[in-house]
């Protein structure tokens, strides 16, 4: 899931469960690096989802990946009620190719 655009102060973009019942499942099944990705966006709420990304071999995998690249300070990211699990990835890298359940990353040379 790689939605585009940004919300605004007081009007964030929201992604999450609708109604009652089990949380919607977003399963990368090891086929994608990021199950949910925001890049140079802000004013987002992501809530009440079941997120996994389990693959058969070691690779870079993340459940939620939020990045800012040469785009200044990002504002308002609210993640709540997420069940992020079974994200098995590359355990040897700790830089911009790292695996994680939830990964916030700032890249580039300017702010």
Per-residue pLDDT tens digits for 88-105: 988 765 666 788 999 998
Question: For the sheet containing 77-80, what is the strand order?
Answer: 13-16, 44-47, 77-80
> What pTM was computed for the model?
0.90
Per-residue pLDDT tens digits for 27-75: 999 999 999 999 999 999 999 999 999 999 889 999 999 999 988 888 9
Dihedral pair phi/psi, residue 102, rounded to 5° = -130, 125
Which structure tokens are listed for 82?
Answer: 């997420």
Q: How confident is the model over 84-90, as a mean pLDDT?
A: 91
d(CA 108, CA 83): 30
Look at residues 106, 87, 88, 86 and name the one whose alpha carbon lies nearest to residue 96.
106
Beta strand pairing call for 83-87 and 50-53: parallel
* 3-class DSSP assignment, residue 31: coil
């Amino acid at each position: 899931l790689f939605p585009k655009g940004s919300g605004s102060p007081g009007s964030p973009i929201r992604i999450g469960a609708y109604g009652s019942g089990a949380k919607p499942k977003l399963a990368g099944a090891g086929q994608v690096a990021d199950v949910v990705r925001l890049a140079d966006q802000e004013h987002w709420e992501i809530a009440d989802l079941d997120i996994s990304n389990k693959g058969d071999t070691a690779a870079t995998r993340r459940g939620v990946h939020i990045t800012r690249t040469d785009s200044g300070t990002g504002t308002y990211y609210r993640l709540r009620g997420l069940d992020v699990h079974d994200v098995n990835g590359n355990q040897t890298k700790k830089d911009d190719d790292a695996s994680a359940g939830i990964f916030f990353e700032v890249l580039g040379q300017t702010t």
